[in-house]
Structure 1
Amino acid sequence: MTLAPSYDPQSFESRLYARWEASGVFAPQGDGPAYSILLPPPNVTGTLHMGHAFQHTLQDALVRYHRMRGYRTLWQVGSDHAGIATEMVVARNLGREGRGETRDSLGREGFVAKVWEWKAESGGTIERQMRRLGASGDWSRSVFTMDEGPSRAVAEAFVRLYDEGLIYRGQRLVNWDPVLKTAISDLEVVSEEEDGHLWSIRYPLADGSGEVVVATTRPETMLGDTAVMVHPDDERYAHLVGKTVRLPLTGREIPVIADAYVDREFGTGVVKVTPAHDFNDYAVGQRHGLPLINVFTPEAKVTGDVPEAYRGLDRFEARQAVLADLEAGGFLVETKAHKLQVPRGDRTGQVIEPYLTDQWFVRMDELARRGLARVENGDVRFVPPNWLGTYRHWLENIQDWCISRQLWWGHRIPAWFGDDGSVYVGRDLDEARARAAEAGYRGELRQDADVLETWFSSALWPFSTMGWPDADAMAERGFDAFVPSSVLVTGFDIIFFWVARMIMMTDKLVGEVPFRDVYITGLVRDKDGQKMSKSKGNILDPIDIIDGIALEDLVAKRTTGLMKPKDAPKIEKATRKEFPDGIAAHGADPLRFTMAALAGPGRDIKFDLGRAEGYKNFCNKLWNAARFVLMNTDGARFAGAPQPRTDAERWILARLDRAAAEAAEHFAAYRFDLLAQGLYEFAWNAFCDWFVELAKPALNGEDAAAAESTRHTLLYVLEALLRLLHPLVPFVTEELWGHVAPRLGVDAQTISLQRYPQAGDIDVAGFAAAEADVEWLRQMVSAVRRVRSELGVSPARQVELLVQGAAAQDAARIARFASQLAFLLRLSGIRELAGDPPPSAAAVVGELRLFVPLEGLVDLDAERARLDKELKRVDAEIAKCNAKLGNATFVANAPAAVVEQERARLADWTAQREGLAAQRGRL
């Protein structure tokens, strides 16, 4: 036997993955039904984080399971160009190189060339890390959103939507990052409560008849006010509606309007309206036809028709200048502390400015209506179904989608402008020129400098990865087979930004849905339920859990590059306390099993490294059980299913059949937590503990036929167990399977392409009696072992077992299993007791009372204390049963079988108590 003496994942995981990938087992193969999953494309700048590890584990489990079931399986992998993030990374790297190069000095073409260089060198980090996790994606088909095929799809989609009037260019308010100088999506804005101020400012009525006091948290934007606003039902100000006020510091007259948007309880009940610098004010401005006055540059400096003193000031410098001038002019009434939600860009940490610019938009009304219908009619199914409400709410309240970004890295918008301001959209310059000529324009054309936001190309992911719109490429990549894909596994946080848009765009451009199921996962949090983030210093790197990391390296990783460097000492202290020895290497399988075990339906999960340690022990348990089987089957060769000769064999084969049936149910329902729990219990308890123990009497007995049959069953069940576990723990199962399978006549290179076990693979009809008998045997062994353990009797010491109250079935079982009981319990003998027992340690199995004579074994006082403790335990169980059965709601609503089971439990515990009480009385 060449199997290593202990479980050491570092010695085989990388070797096995290289073999899988080189042999092409991850590619679609065979003629079975198609099954496919789209990998949500991680950013090319990214590294594997715990959320990735969680979702990739679940996706890989599904892919491996269906591959083993004979499906033509594809896990379509790839990465996203991540416009903003990548520009930032490359620009930062240029600064570190010390050659004086910057984004602006290189110019657009030079900078984009630098990005491609960086992508070639560093852009595949996350795909390499996914391999370390065991992800069985078809890497030969990996797609990058800036590849030629997806880029062609982006241009095609833009032109088609533009030609139908669904894409337009217009001036609208957007989220604007003044550092990046680009619009950003809502997903890239993080709003958190911060300390601020609420300023009350006096706005005099233009006719001199009085004034109103306006409350605001952003006094610098008053330079762009175009109205003040009150609630239409606010009697305090009803007489002012229709009048005008004179805007302090500027002298402009602006109207007093009434709108139900006003919160009468906020501040004074009068608010300023700045439509060009606030999203809610913009909506008010549209309703009332107010002008939009933009007073900021793209860098958030003051500009435009404002007093000369403020021009060129940064917005926060302007705030202080405005406040000083308001106070000097007698306009500032009050300043008080105020908590407010401040929107910041998740990349730069800068306060986001609502900003009025010319952008490209997609009209969403009709697309949203169709997208909602596709889900409502069952074409797409959400799991868990409660997320359908979230999806519906967003689509029913959708706004037009801003798809342009003021960046250089990305898909450049396929639109060209003439010198007269005309615009011509085309798949390329030649098509744009042809359209311009058709319209009568003969001048030069210049392409729009903006690029499309990343979510636009990501929305096309389900079909751009499959060759669309090129017919030959679609046929080559299996478009008809793999669109729609089978399931999308993703987090709830991008239902709006990605899931909904994929459904709408696939429906519009392809006439299909992108996927049949959407399995929504929760977020991975730390063991205390806190969101993992670099700023909190509580991140865990999956690769560090797999391969281990020294304490000093872990501290450096958590404290380097913090947005708030002052937090570093606190984070270092917490890290040293939590991981005084760093993080030991666990291997990929324990991490994967942990992720699956925690994957309850739609819930956030609290990741505790202790769970991974526990599942490392599980892998070690499996390893040791395999060593036992291999040592006891050395030289053996078997074929086909075993013909069991012992009840223990029949019992484990019935349990195997049930485990396979339950695994299929859990995979179908996406209940990875129940799948992991069921396989864990079967592997650890049923096989590794009990069947290995129950096999020993046969292996060491005189019945050669029973010994040979038991060897066959040990190998057969272990091999099937490895296949059951393979989708969750692929490495350890592959390594062990390579040693086990040849002894069953299986001549194959990998477990990955073996058939997944299913209920009915072996005929277990007629095994029910054996199951019941072995369950009785397990209870007997457990009861006596518990007694021996509590008494502190050495496992090697022989004891006598006295039995009393044996019914006919118990007596028959004792006779049948006498040799097994003697072997497993180190019994000198089993004797039926007619009268009162001598001083003994007692246990009860059903109505059968068991006694282990204490003479020469233990201290009688200690045994009295043990029995008192056992009586308390049994009383507690009886109280639980009585509480349930005394609950009228439980009795009325629970299934009849459940109620009857509870009554049977009560009867069993009551019988046990009677036996224990009698024994205690004798002592």
Structure 2
Amino acid sequence: MFGSLEFFLEFGDGAVAVNPNDERYKHLVGKKVLLPLVDRMIPIIADELVDPEFGTGAVKVTAAHDPNDFEMGMRHGVELVIIMNEHGVMAGTGTKFDGMDRFDARKAVVDELRKLGRVVAEKRPYVHAVGHCQRCDTTVEPRLSKQWFVKVAPLAKAAGDAVRDGRVKIEPEQMSPRYFEWVDNMHDWCISRQLWWGHRIPVFYGPNGEVVVCGPDEKPPAGYVQDPDVLDTWFSSALWPFSTLGWPEKSPDLKKFYPTSVLVTGYDILFFWVARMMIMGLFAMDGKQPFDVIVLHGLVRDQFGKKMSKSRGNTIDPIEFMDKYGSDALRFTLARGANPGTDQALAEDWVAGSRNFATKLWNATRFAMLNGANVSGDLPATDQLNAIDNWILTRLDQTIAEADELFEKFEFAKACELIYHFAWDDLCDWYLELSKSTFSAAGGEADKSKRVLGQVLDQLLRLMHPVMPFITEQMWCTLTQGESLMIADWPKSDLSSQDFSSVKLVEQMQAIITEVRRFRNDQGIKSTAKVVAKFTGLSKVGLDKYEAAIRHVVKCEAGAGNFTAKTQIGDVVIEFDLTGAVDLVAERARLTKDLQTAQKDRDTAKVKLENDGFMAKAPMEVVTEIRERLAQTSSDIERITALLEKLPK
């Protein structure tokens, strides 16, 4: 007794298989049983592939219509019986079912077996996995047919050895096991396809069964007919590294471009394309690999991490993003998410963010040029520049060096993130703001800073060109009057010229500015409002020369005043005249209300934590949350109390 889901395949059965360790059937192995409807005797065989726990533990072996059954059939010499043609129509069974469509035959065969009393039980519904065509969603029926194969064992070994011995490197390295899994277990490769489009197989058949293979300039004998099949797409693609370069001739192009240095592709075609190119290249080029490095990137998915597909309706049209946000914005977004070997999500908001970054760069370059930034003449020596200029040049060298290293390791996401923060944070948010007072003052110091700013933009735009080619080309050519950024030298770093003393001074400026901004925000002073302030202690930390720059950034004017509030960072004390800058009554009322709220939250948390009954029953995560709330409210009370004390009486 055995079960089946496709009873029309019964006509192709060549054996019944059981597990050799199944005590129920050991005595039957080697005997034969009658196959209903065709009255053919088939043997009972024993094979480890059979799961004795599944169903009755006895399975039909339809070797010509199932891949697993085929392997089993080859091991046991099972007869290969083909019972349908390539159109899915029953043929060759020698029964009344010949000529029926497979779906019609499915029902008709069950009805006939039922009439004969052969159906002893039915299970409905029954969920199982059946292969379907990805294009038309039609059930796929495996069918034995004559095909052309490549014997891959020696070729696959060569492809594996090329990576193992270091001739070819896979990036990221953790993808190497996946490559070896494919090439070390590769089956003979079926290269013929029954499709309309493709490279026609160059095999011709004579009238008496003769077979000849003809090269590009050869003609078959008269009366010979070419094989109608075409080559597998990946067979054709595998020829690319050398066939496009004049092979088999020793052409100049082949000598120059084979092997290529780097192949960049998605990990999803590591087996289909990369392994096949390795196989074909090593074979055709006498053991010379087609490329030195294989860089595997991930797939671009939707913003929720789902694979894009038309059926899901979550596909993204890059042209729409390019029209709306610009090609550079889309390119930078993709590069910024390109971690080696891992998938990346793509959302419109992120592309919009990259567009904003491009706008930031455009405005910064425009501001720089309006203020006289240039690349004329040599860069002033380090000892002739102020700390702010030396700091940005040091940060530029560090960024170029680190970005170079990341690009070499194909860490495009990290490189883009590094460049982004240098451009947005260091250059735009800090250097330009700190230098505005120098530009306003004009004179020799301003001229040197203008040359430094031109140098920084020149090198930054070169560094960004691979990931934002169009806008950087426009800005660079306008700034430098050069012919094209595409033929400009790649930026070089000089880490030996780093000025760490200037870096320390600017870090102190940043700390002071950050503290003043925090103080202003805590006091409720508008970011655009100017207040009178007195700085003391700048000379102690070497920043007396940069008081004007700091004041400009934090909008603090010099002058006499009623200094009723102050803040301090290290040796530097900043006192403020808040007259007119803050509505003291309203600010005191706001802070008092915030203090009362914080005290109430703190008291509530304390009551719960001091309640033994609550602590015994409450889950640990709840207790942890309350403890964190107690710590936070206590901190808030301390902060608000200090702010209230600083307010003028």
C-alpha distance in 1, partners of 2:303/2:528?
Answer: 42
Q: Where do residues 654-669 of structure 1 align in structure 2 (5 Å cutoff)?
A: 654-669=394-409
Aligned residue for 1:694? 434
C-alpha distance in 2, partners of 1:236/1:802?
Answer: 98
TM-superposition CA deviations, 1:776-825 (whole Å, max 9, x none): 11221122123323434234433244668x5xx77343423222222222
TM-superposition CA deviations, 1:872-913 (whole Å, max 9, x none): xxxxxxxxxxxxxxxxxxxxxxxxxxxxxxxxxxxxxxx999
Does residue 720 of structure 1 match 2:459? yes
Does residue 738 of structure 1 match 2:477? yes
Residue among 552, 573, 588 paired with 1:860:
588
TM-superposition CA deviations, 1:449-471 (whole Å, max 9, x none): 22212211111111112111133
Aligned residue for 2:199? 411
Aligned residue for 1:538? 314
Give the partner amino acid of 2:503.
E
Secondary structure of the 2:44 match is strand
Does residue 221 of structure 1 match 2:221? no
Q: Where do residues 9-158 of structure 1 align in structure 2 (5 Å cutoff)?
A: none
Matched residue pairs, number? Answer: 604
Specify whether residues 601 and 810 from structure 1 end up closer, same or farther in structure 2 by C-alpha distance, changes over 3 A only: farther
Does residue 764 of structure 1 match 2:489? no
- Structure 1 residues without counterparts, runs of 5 or longer: 1-211, 434-442, 548-584, 743-747, 872-910
TM-superposition CA deviations, 1:422-453 (whole Å, max 9, x none): 212221584654xxxxxxxxx84222222212
Specify whether residues 788 and 365 from structure 1 end up closer, same or farther in structure 2 by C-alpha distance, changes over 3 A only: same
Q: In 2, are the aligned partners of 1:590 and 1:729 still within 8 Å (CA)? A: yes
Give 1 or 2: higher strand fraction.
1
Specify whether residues 374 and 348 from structure 1 end up closer, same or farther in structure 2 by C-alpha distance, changes over 3 A only: same
Residue among 513, 519, 533 paired with 1:781:
513
Specify whether residues 693 and 539 from structure 1 end up closer, same or farther in structure 2 by C-alpha distance, changes over 3 A only: same
Q: Where do residues 227-242 of structure 1 align in structure 2 (5 Å cutoff)?
A: 227-242=15-30
Per the TM alignment, residue 306 of structure 1 is displaced from its structure 2 partner at its CA by: 3.4
Give the partner amino acid of 1:639.
G
C-alpha distance in 2, partners of 1:695/1:855?
Answer: 29
Aligned residue for 2:626? none
Secondary structure of the 1:611 match is helix
Aligned residue for 1:20? none
Residue among 540, 544, 562 paired with 1:815:
544
Per the TM alignment, residue 769 of structure 1 is displaced from its structure 2 partner at its CA by: 0.7
C-alpha distance in 2, partners of 1:831/1:639?
Answer: 44
Aligned residue for 1:705? 444
Does residue 458 of structure 1 match 2:273? no
C-alpha distance in 2, partners of 1:387/1:338?
Answer: 39
Residue among 151, 163, 174 paired with 1:363:
151
Residue among 653, 672, 687 paired with 2:412:
672
Specify whether residues 430 and 488 from structure 1 end up closer, same or farther in structure 2 by C-alpha distance, changes over 3 A only: closer
Secondary structure of the 1:353 match is coil
Secondary structure of the 1:338 match is coil
Specify whether residues 377 and 830 from structure 1 end up closer, same or farther in structure 2 by C-alpha distance, changes over 3 A only: farther
Aligned residue for 2:484? 750
Q: In 1, are the aligned partners of 2:540 and 2:571 still within 8 Å (CA)? A: no
Secondary structure of the 2:132 match is strand
Aligned residue for 2:101? 314
Q: In 2, are the aligned partners of 1:791 and 1:863 still within 8 Å (CA)? A: no
C-alpha distance in 1, partners of 2:131/2:544?
Answer: 77
Q: Higher Cα Rg: structure 1 or 2?
A: 2
Per the TM alignment, residue 316 of structure 1 is displaced from its structure 2 partner at its CA by: 1.3
Give the % identical residues.
Answer: 38
C-alpha distance in 2, partners of 1:491/1:340?
Answer: 32
Specify whether residues 869 and 380 from structure 1 end up closer, same or farther in structure 2 by C-alpha distance, changes over 3 A only: farther
Specify whether residues 862 and 846 from structure 1 end up closer, same or farther in structure 2 by C-alpha distance, changes over 3 A only: farther
C-alpha distance in 2, partners of 1:396/1:591?
Answer: 39
Residue among 413, 424, 436 paired with 1:684:
424
- Structure 2 residues without counterparts, runs of 5 or longer: 600-634
Aligned residue for 2:605? none
C-alpha distance in 1, partners of 2:496/2:637?
Answer: 40
Q: In 2, are the aligned partners of 1:404 and 1:450 still within 8 Å (CA)? A: yes
Aligned residue for 2:610? none
Does residue 604 of structure 1 match 2:346? no
Secondary structure of the 1:623 match is helix
Q: In 2, are the aligned partners of 1:803 and 1:830 still within 8 Å (CA)? A: no
C-alpha distance in 1, partners of 2:168/2:12?
Answer: 46
C-alpha distance in 1, partners of 2:592/2:540?
Answer: 29
C-alpha distance in 2, partners of 1:258/1:541?
Answer: 55
C-alpha distance in 1, partners of 2:595/2:171?
Answer: 50
Residue among 287, 295, 318 paired with 2:75:
287
C-alpha distance in 2, partners of 1:779/1:866?
Answer: 27
Q: In 2, are the aligned partners of 1:846 and 1:912 still within 8 Å (CA)? A: no
Q: Where do residues 317-716 of structure 1 align in structure 2 (5 Å cutoff)?
A: 317-332=104-119, 333-427=121-215, 430=218, 432-433=220-221, 444-471=223-250, 474-475=251-252, 478-511=253-286, 512-547=288-323, 585-633=324-372, 638-643=376-381, 645-701=385-441, 704-716=443-455
TM-score, normalization: structure 1?
A: 0.62
C-alpha distance in 1, partners of 2:265/2:491?
Answer: 28
TM-score, normalization: structure 2?
A: 0.87
C-alpha distance in 2, partners of 1:697/1:494?
Answer: 56
Specify whether residues 609 and 646 from structure 1 end up closer, same or farther in structure 2 by C-alpha distance, changes over 3 A only: same
Specify whether residues 600 and 845 from structure 1 end up closer, same or farther in structure 2 by C-alpha distance, changes over 3 A only: farther
Q: In 2, are the aligned partners of 1:801 and 1:850 still within 8 Å (CA)? A: yes
More moved, 422-431 vs 272-281 = 422-431
C-alpha distance in 2, partners of 1:610/1:841?
Answer: 41
Secondary structure of the 2:313 match is coil
TM-superposition CA deviations, 1:712-763 (whole Å, max 9, x none): 1111111111111100000000111121013xxxxx3210111111211x86
Per the TM alignment, residue 398 of structure 1 is displaced from its structure 2 partner at its CA by: 1.3
Specify whether residues 537 and 637 from structure 1 end up closer, same or farther in structure 2 by C-alpha distance, changes over 3 A only: closer
Per the TM alignment, residue 617 of structure 1 is displaced from its structure 2 partner at its CA by: 0.2
Aligned residue for 1:885? none
Q: In 2, are the aligned partners of 1:845 and 1:912 still within 8 Å (CA)? A: no
Q: In 1, are the aligned partners of 2:595 and 2:637 still within 8 Å (CA)? A: no
Per the TM alignment, residue 638 of structure 1 is displaced from its structure 2 partner at its CA by: 1.8
Please provide the CA RMSD for this pair: 2.8
Give the partner amino acid of 2:477.
G
More moved, 848-857 vs 367-376 = 848-857
C-alpha distance in 1, partners of 2:161/2:405?
Answer: 29
Specify whether residues 637 and 651 from structure 1 end up closer, same or farther in structure 2 by C-alpha distance, changes over 3 A only: closer
Give the partner amino acid of 2:322.
I
Q: In 2, are the aligned partners of 1:371 and 1:507 still within 8 Å (CA)? A: yes
Q: Where do residues 868-879 of structure 1 align in structure 2 (5 Å cutoff)?
A: none
Specify whether residues 801 and 264 from structure 1 end up closer, same or farther in structure 2 by C-alpha distance, changes over 3 A only: farther
Q: In 2, are the aligned partners of 1:781 and 1:821 still within 8 Å (CA)? A: yes
TM-superposition CA deviations, 1:200-251 (whole Å, max 9, x none): xxxxxxxxxxxx2x12232221110011111111112222212222112222
Specify whether residues 645 and 461 from structure 1 end up closer, same or farther in structure 2 by C-alpha distance, changes over 3 A only: same
Aligned residue for 2:631? none
Q: In 2, are the aligned partners of 1:599 and 1:671 still within 8 Å (CA)? A: yes
